[in-house]
A and B are shown apart, each in its own frame.
Chain A
Amino acid sequence: MTARNPQLNAEGKLTHLLTLEGLPASVIAEILDTAHPFVSVGEREVKKVPLLRGKAIFNLFFESSTRTRTTFEIAAKRLSADVINLNIGASSTSKGETLLDTVDNLVAMNADMFVVRHAQSGAAHLIATHLAATGRPHVHVVNAGDGRHAHPSQGLLDLYTIRHYKKDFGALSVAIVGDVLHSRVARSLIHGLSTLGAPDIRVIGPATLLPTGVESLGVRRFHDMRAGLAGCDVVVMLRLQNERMRGALLPSTGEFFKHYGLTAEKLALAKPDAIVMHPGPMNRGVEIDSAVADGARSVILPQVTFGIAVRMAVMSMIAGN
């Protein structure tokens, strides 16, 4: 029943990235500051620095995601690391090998770092706890998304993006719209924004898609999107998955778009210089109108660029601790 944050080592330095919850503001700021020069590495002709040369980074994806896996792979390779991709999916579980057995086998192959995506909340914590319990302090874990719980690197790149365009968190209104209940992106961003002092965080969605007690995360809940967007500086649209219709959470994507889709007309209720973000991949016409997605206030593509730099920063900071 220990509550010590397992992401920090004995010296209080980041050794794993599991969640933004409980990460001190100074650590978050350090990551964002470190990411800044990494952005320019991507603009050079030789997009590499030798920091992680010789390190073996394993992408352990139990839930398939080409997009996230690719950005982590690019980030690791720009750090000159060796990247090995493992799409576990159903194959290993059908052979009966447990998650921890897989990890142990890879550690025996001298893995230095695991980038893990799993369908269950807590999977990354399980691995980090296991590594600590079995005496391997030099093997690091980066959570690339565990169930509904956390997607900390996405949260960080979202924070980086907001900081890039808005500079100061101290006066921001941020609206997060859509399926918050199932969203690890939303949870991570909420924790990050709270820690950095954003005073007004709003979640907007139907009652079926907002978790019980969401206010305890320090947010205001809105069912009316127009009311929720009023005066916002940042609008973050979440992806809606098709399964939600089958679970009787929503009747149809059409009805969702009517109430909660971001159109130019609704966006006009936010501040005139508000930015529009989306973790991707977008469902055009479901959560967001194409015109808005491709419009002047959209920073969706810069998010991707920043995402590589932020992941480079995280991996190089962790691997050095």
Chain B
Amino acid sequence: MADAPALPDAEAALAELAARMAPAVAHDAAFVGIYSGGAWVAERLAKVLPGDHPVGFIDVAFYRDDYKRSGLKANTRRTELPFDVEGATIVLVDDVLYTGRSVRAAINELFDFGRPDTIELAVLVDRGGRELPIEPTYTGTRLAVARDLSIVLSRDDSGRLAIGVEPAAAP
């Protein structure tokens, strides 16, 4: 890959994201990570940031807007929200923010559980290319890549996060 962009270090981006969130985020905000990369980031943030932050996980498969085109993909992950969404302060966490559609789906799903007080958005990587009017409240780092590539977060056995690129899956 001759034109491989220089990829940022995920751990550094995570530290940057946590630093931005520390002074601003509510003490009792719940962190809800979007599977699977967002879930890892949410877990790490909850460990590192002070305060009592319940951690939940959200699977957006049933709320995606590309169902008619792509059908339903088999998945076994369940949304788990171990706190009362009604009246909650939530930080939605995702690894890569791109078109904004996953975040839209996650917000819709959260509202089916109750009416939160506020929802903020924390993303590890913002790659631009928005198709909906959605902006992150907290960003770790920015990275632009070609349209035919996907940015993926991986986690090794020791829990260390890494940012990579791979060819985008066919629509």
Check A-B contact in the complex, CB < 8 A: yes
On chain A, the number of residues with a Cβ less than 8 Å from chain B's Cβ atoms is 19
How far is B78's CA from A80's CA once the two chains are assembled, in angstroms? 19
Known: A45-B114, A48-B112. A40 touches B78 (CB 8 A): yes
How far is B44's CA from A14's CA once the two chains are assembled, in angstroms? 40
Asked if A40 and B75 sit within 8 Å, CB to CB, the answer is no
How far is B109's CA from A48's CA once the two chains are assembled, in angstroms? 10
- Is A10 positioned at the interface, with any CB of B under 8 Å from its CB? no
Asked if B62 and A34 sit within 8 Å, CB to CB, the answer is no
Looking at the complex, which of A141-149, A297-305, A313-321 is the stretch in contact with chain B? Answer: A313-321
Produce 1/0 per residue, B62-77, CB < 8 A to A.
1100011011101111
Known: A49-B62, A49-B63, A320-B68. A33 touches B112 (CB 8 A): no
Asked if B114 and A50 sit within 8 Å, CB to CB, the answer is no
Question: Separation in Å of the A297 CB from the closest CB of chain B?
Answer: 26
Chain A residues in 8 Å Cβ range of B62: 37, 41, 49-51, 316
Asked if B76 and A37 sit within 8 Å, CB to CB, the answer is yes
How far is B75's CA from A36's CA once the two chains are assembled, in angstroms? 8
Q: Tell me the nearest residue of chain B to A41, going by C-beta.
A: B62
Chain B residues in 8 Å Cβ range of A50: 62-63, 108
- Is B61 positioned at the interface, with any CB of A under 8 Å from its CB? yes
Instruction: List the 10 shortest-distance A-B pairs measured between CB atoms, nearest first.
Output: A320-B71, A49-B62, A46-B112, A30-B74, A320-B72, A33-B74, A37-B78, A40-B78, A36-B76, A316-B72
Known: A13-B71, A37-B61, A320-B68. A44 touches B113 (CB 8 A): yes
Chain A residues in 8 Å Cβ range of B70: 320
Question: Separation in Å of the A286 CB from the closest CB of chain B?
Answer: 38
Chain B residues with CB under 8 Å of chain A are 59, 61-63, 67-68, 70-72, 74-79, 108-109, 112-114
Which residue of the partner chain, among A33, A46, A49, contacts B76 with CB atoms under 8 Å? A33
Question: Separation in Å of the A239 CB from the closest CB of chain B?
Answer: 32
How far is B59's CA from A192's CA once the two chains are assembled, in angstroms? 29
Chain B residues in 8 Å Cβ range of A316: 62, 72
Which residue of the partner chain, among B59, B67, B113, contacts A46 with CB atoms under 8 Å? B113
Asked if B59 and A37 sit within 8 Å, CB to CB, the answer is yes
Chain A residues in 8 Å Cβ range of B76: 33, 36-37
How far is B78's CA from A39's CA once the two chains are assembled, in angstroms? 9
Which residue of the partner chain, among B75, B79, B108, B114, contacts A34 with CB atoms under 8 Å? B75
Chain A residues in 8 Å Cβ range of B109: 49
Chain A residues in 8 Å Cβ range of B72: 34, 51, 316-317, 320
Asked if A321 and B74 sit within 8 Å, CB to CB, the answer is no
Chain A residues in 8 Å Cβ range of B63: 49-50
Q: Can you spell out 5 A-B residue pairs with CB atoms less than 8 angstroms apart? A: A30-B74, A37-B61, A48-B112, A49-B63, A321-B71
How far is B67's CA from A317's CA once the two chains are assembled, in angstroms? 10
Q: Tell me the nearest residue of chain B to A46, going by C-beta.
A: B112
Question: Separation in Å of the A110 CB from the closest CB of chain B?
Answer: 15
Restricting to A1-58, which residues have a CB under 8 Å from any CB of B? 13, 30, 33-34, 36-37, 40-41, 44-46, 48-51
Question: Separation in Å of the A7 CB from the closest CB of chain B?
Answer: 15
Chain B residues in 8 Å Cβ range of A40: 78-79
Asked if A37 and B77 sit within 8 Å, CB to CB, the answer is yes
Chain A residues in 8 Å Cβ range of B79: 37, 40
Question: Separation in Å of the B11 CB from the closest CB of chain A?
Answer: 31
Question: Separation in Å of the B145 CB from the closest CB of chain A?
Answer: 29
How far is B113's CA from A46's CA once the two chains are assembled, in angstroms? 6
Chain B residues in 8 Å Cβ range of A320: 67-68, 70-72
How far is B114's CA from A44's CA once the two chains are assembled, in angstroms? 10
How far is B59's CA from A49's CA once the two chains are assembled, in angstroms? 12
